[in-house]
Structure 1
Amino acid sequence: MIIKIPATSANLGPGFDALGLSLELFNEVEICENSFHCISLNGYGSEKAWLKKNNAFLNIFREIYTKLGGNPNQNFKISFQNNIPFSRGLGSSSAVIVGAIAAAYYMRGFSVDRGKILNLALEYENHPDNIAPATYGGFVSSITSGKNVYSQKCEIDADIKAIVVIPDTPMPTNESRGKLPKSFTIKDCVSNLSHAAFLTACFMKKDYDSLRLACVDKMHEEVRMSALPELFSVREVAYANGAIMSSLSGSGSTFLNLAHASDAQKIKNALVDKFKNFKVEILNIDNNGFNIS
């Protein structure tokens, strides 16, 4: 089997731990039963030999595979093509979790029910902002209740492109989250609630030109961006050149910019010219989530 799992951009400004978007940047994993254990790594992480011995995808895959009645001693040949950078706010860990669970169900011959996969993924990542769009694709607004995730999804028009700015500097989620305030004012909470609700309505109604007004955050972006002050300039340059939305991607350090297709190249050129040490890519929005073949 081959499974492709998309990168995701979470929070989207005010939607802290709740909102996410799926991007056409995929990790690809090929798995087959084998007479001996074999792992190959390409792309991000290929230089880290220890990943072959302590591989999160394989650990989760084996755990679920065994729970589904699989032989715990079964050997596999697994080939990874990692195109999602680590610790950059593009959902690399969620891609691992969702991909491993879905792959285990498929290899055991079970129906790959996306709702079930998502609920199981919550056991490994306790907020749904990345795992939900990795599962369903498109724009996803999610809540949790007990051990279940409840999501509302809408597809994004092909005219909307993502221009992602990826610095070399990683921002591990745990470290980034640890810098956030432990309490917030009622004013800031109300601001985020109202903007997250409005942002969700804009995506659902395809009112893309109101996204800039909607994506204002008062809880996490400023604190996280202060660790890499150039990100404030990234937002300024993107908006000055026609972006309809500009927000920190997840916990960073990637910055997500959305634009109409006619403006995407102009925005990319301006960002490349200004931030020569950052990687800038134009990506399509993925509306499908993980894919198995």
Structure 2
Amino acid sequence: MRISVPATSANLGPGFDTLGLAISLHNQVIIRPSKFHSVSLRGEGSNNPVLKDNNMFIAIFNDFYHNLSKRKRHFRFEFTNEVPLSRGLGSSSAVIVSAIASAYAIEGIKLDKQKLLNLALAYENHPDNITPAVMGGFNVATVQDNEVKFIRKTLPKSLKAIVVIPNRPISTQLARKALPFKYSKEDTVFNISHSSLLTAAFMTENWDMLRAASLDKVHQKYRMKQMPELFDVQKTALKSGALMSTLSGSGSTLFSMSHRDDAQRIEAELKKRFPHFKVISRNFDNDGVRVED
């Protein structure tokens, strides 16, 4: 059995804990019956031996599998990771979603995506990453009565994602601590209006509106101060023709969107200006989690 989950970029500027989209960087795991438990890991995180012994995927998988099957079996888990760890591209959400989906699939139990989303809430209570990881595309999501409420939009092939991945992380915990305890009414209204405008721009495919709509006064500047180079990355992306450029999740990755014809030029400029960072251009993922027998 093969399970694949895309990377995600959340917040998208003003859409704090609400907006997110899926990018075609994938974590994949192949699960095979085995006489004994074993793990192999390639790609991102493969140089970290702790991930083999203290693997969140396996812990979540085992919890669900044992509850569903009421029996003990051994498996070989073969992980191939493209999603960088602790860089704001939804690596934790990818693990959570794929582990739950795998446990149900191994037992041959049909699991619709809405139920998968609701189960994932027990491990990730912010829906902006888990929703695009499950559904693909662009998503507006909130939680009500322990259920994810969302609206999804397919992203066209004429758009590209460009991510600049720094060589060090920003701690999610520290990133949240960097935020103000209180916000002014003016800043709150600013973000509500811009998040609404950004959502409308995505839904109507008014891409020229994204630059103005993606401005934020709630989280980005406070988090980006922990890595000041990100302000230059953002400025360079926009100056080079990006439609929008925002901190991905809590960082440290910076996400930009562009028309397909502009992506190569923007990517080249970012690579030239920031040679110590990884710059990747990818399509958007409209499928979300995929399970193949």
Using the size of structure 1 for normalisation, the TM-score is 0.98
CA distance in structure 2 between the partners assigned to 1:103 and 1:53 by the alignment: 19
Q: How does 1:101-112 map to 2 (within 5 A)?
A: 101-112=100-111
Equivalent in the alignment of 2:220: 221
Count of matched residue pairs: 292
Q: How does 1:41-120 map to 2 (within 5 A)?
A: 41-71=41-71, 73-120=72-119
Shift of 1:218: 0.5
Q: Which ranges of structure 2 fall in alignment gaps of 5 or more residues?
A: none
Shift of 1:50: 2.0
Equivalent in the alignment of 2:131: 132
Q: How does 1:156-167 map to 2 (within 5 A)?
A: 156-167=155-166
Equivalent in the alignment of 2:122: 123
45-54 or 16-25, which deviates more: 45-54
CA distance in structure 1 between the partners assigned to 2:254 and 2:130 by the alignment: 19
Equivalent in the alignment of 1:13: 13
Equivalent in the alignment of 1:38: 38
Equivalent in the alignment of 1:151: 150
Shift of 1:69: 2.7
Equivalent in the alignment of 1:27: 27
1:4 maps to 2:4? yes
CA distance in structure 1 between the partners assigned to 2:212 and 2:230 by the alignment: 19
The answer as to whether partners of 1:70 and 1:108 remain within 8 angstroms in 2 is no
Q: Which ranges of structure 1 fall in alignment gaps of 5 or more residues?
A: none
Shift of 1:209: 1.3
Shift of 1:112: 2.5
Per-residue displacement from partner, 1:220-252 (whole Å, max 9, x unpaired)? 000110011111111111111111010000000
- Secondary structure of 2:203's aligned partner: helix
43-52 or 73-82, which deviates more: 43-52
Letter in structure 1 aligned against 2:39: I
Shift of 1:169: 1.1
- Secondary structure of 1:57's aligned partner: helix
CA distance in structure 2 between the partners assigned to 1:247 and 1:49 by the alignment: 32
CA distance in structure 1 between the partners assigned to 2:178 and 2:236 by the alignment: 26
CA distance in structure 2 between the partners assigned to 1:70 and 1:37 by the alignment: 18
CA distance in structure 2 between the partners assigned to 1:257 and 1:67 by the alignment: 41
Per-residue displacement from partner, 1:155-203 (whole Å, max 9, x unpaired)? 0110110111000011121221121111111111111111111111111
CA distance in structure 1 between the partners assigned to 2:215 and 2:243 by the alignment: 12
Q: Which runs of at least 4 in structure 1 moved beyond 3 Å after TM superposition?
A: none
Equivalent in the alignment of 1:230: 229
CA distance in structure 2 between the partners assigned to 1:192 and 1:147 by the alignment: 25
CA distance in structure 2 between the partners assigned to 1:45 and 1:266 by the alignment: 30
Letter in structure 2 aligned against 1:26: H
Using the size of structure 2 for normalisation, the TM-score is 0.98
CA distance in structure 2 between the partners assigned to 1:89 and 1:49 by the alignment: 22
- Secondary structure of 1:133's aligned partner: helix
1:282 maps to 2:271? no
The answer as to whether partners of 1:163 and 1:283 remain within 8 angstroms in 2 is yes
The answer as to whether partners of 1:65 and 1:104 remain within 8 angstroms in 2 is yes
Per-residue displacement from partner, 1:121-165 (whole Å, max 9, x unpaired)? 011011100000000000000010121101100001101101110
- Secondary structure of 1:150's aligned partner: strand
The answer as to whether partners of 1:160 and 1:258 remain within 8 angstroms in 2 is yes
